[in-house]
Amino acid sequence: MRYLTDEELQLAGRFLFLSMAILVIRQDTAHIQQGPFKIKGPYLDLLQNMETAALKERHRLRKEMREKGLRIVRLNKNDSFSTFLFICRGHEEKRNYFNPAIRMKVEAIVQELMAAALQPDQPHASANT
């Protein structure tokens, strides 16, 4: 049975995948810093701007989740699926995600953050979401 509303699922999902995107950005930053790049500055600046925007959005999402009493716990992960427990209003809902689908969602968020970082004059698309 489904206990979470579409809005709660969207909020929790965005928080979850945004958190994963932040990890990817940090890993990419480390790879560039340690890699054989001749000119690292522009790439590192881009990644730093992406991370800053992502952290700001995640902070907002975390606050909204706290207000709604919404939490996410990773239960397990195998080669094919990752299972997360969504807890809200005293109800628990288990959700399984296909790992390649997670990768696609995280990649879409990274692309969104990159587009926003490359066009700083534009408001962030998901800031109002």
How confident is the model at residue 89, as a pLDDT? 86
The stretch 83-104 carries a mean pLDDT of 94
Q: What is the pTM of this model?
A: 0.88
Span 4-25, pLDDT tens digits: 899 999 999 999 999 999 999 9
How confident is the model at residue 2, as a pLDDT? 76
d(CA 103, CA 55): 19
How high does pLDDT run on average in the chain? 92
Worst-scoring range by mean pLDDT, 51-55, 67-71, 121-125?
121-125
Q: What single-letter DSSP state applies at residue 117?
A: H
Domain ranges of the chain: 6-118
How confident is the model at residue 90, as a pLDDT? 86
3-state class of 73 per DSSP?
Answer: strand
CA angle 8, 10, 16 (to 5 degrees): 100
Q: Which tokens belong to 86?
A: 């969504």
8 A C-beta contact, residue 13 and residue 73: no
- pLDDT band for position 3 (cuts 50, 70, 90): confident
